[in-house]
Amino acid sequence: MAKTDPITFVTDEIGFYAVTINANDIACTGGLPKWFLVTLLLPEGQSNDQMVESIFQQIANVCRDMNIGWVGGHTEITYGIDRPIVIGQMLGEVERDKLVRPTHVQIGDLVLLTKGIAIEAVSIIARERTEEVEQKFGTDFVKRAQNFLHDPGISVLKEAQIAVQVLASQASRVHAFHDPTEGGLAMGFYELARASLVGLEILPERIPILPEARALCDYFHLDPMGVIASGALIIVVAPVDADVIVQSLRNAGIATEIVGEVTPPGSGVMFRKGDQVWPMPNFERDELTKLFVS
């Protein structure tokens, strides 16, 4: 299988982002990322050898750590942009009968979520607004938030592979994976529902909003459900398989919660709390873009 994804929000560690986000997309098919190509667009008059070497080193390091071959790409100075843009293309492999597709989702399946939200947004805010965040929350907070890129981390490759392997050993399978990115967890649920032709009913109190994410979203007046959420993984499985997946991931040090269930087509993407049911907000653009609008 093949996937491509551009990195446009960030400049810091952009090479790391490019490999990891594209590897996540392959992992969400049940596959293993194997080969990577990259197109690097650099801003005219703002680029130098040190910038290029740093990005290339980041890409090389992540590819080595993930056992991915960096097999080619293209680099150019581009008129009309004000920051580097990296477009990654990842190729991977999966056995045909183990391919995870949203068409496998069934009514009554349970929806799991790993790690929590909003890991990538926390890292981006702390890196792009370092001085302001440090002044408000302190040095330790900003350093911890910046490192969210690596801990808890935006890669979902490990948890996807664990889920696939655990269920394969029991002659079962994951019904769907989805890694929420731009538009946040809310957009991730809507994308999953559309791709699977089903509805979703989500319990908001079950969604783990990390303390750093809550603090930063409150301060910058952002909805944590609508900020870029790479690092979390939505997993859809049959009810009989949910507990073993949750326990296996927790045993591997990956926080996992059952956050909802699949409902019939036409029922929408909804929140439920007790007897109250209401539509989940759907964000036209990522909440994080508010920070970059002058």
Q: How do residues 237-281 score in pLDDT, each as one tens digit?
A: 999 999 999 999 999 999 999 999 999 999 999 999 999 999 999
Assign 70 to helix, strand or coil.
Answer: strand
Q: How do residues 57-92 score in pLDDT, each as one tens digit?
A: 999 999 999 999 999 999 999 888 988 999 999 999
pTM: 0.92
- Max CA-CA distance within the chain? 60
Name the band, by pLDDT with cuts 50, 70 and 90, for residue 98.
confident
pLDDT at 134 over 80: yes
Domains and CATH numbers, the chain: 2-95 (3.30.1330.10), 102-292 (3.90.650.10)
pLDDT at 136 over 90: yes
* Secondary structure (DSSP) of 219-236: HHT--GGGS--BTB-EEE
Name the band, by pLDDT with cuts 50, 70 and 90, for residue 169.
confident
CB 156 within 8 A of CB 24: yes
More confident residue, 177 or 1: 177
Assign 250 to helix, strand or coil.
Answer: helix
The β-bridge relationship of strands 85-93 and 2-7 is antiparallel
CB 228 within 8 A of CB 182: yes
Strand residues in 8-159 grouped as ranges (E): 32-43, 69-78, 85-93, 110-114
CB 162 within 8 A of CB 248: yes
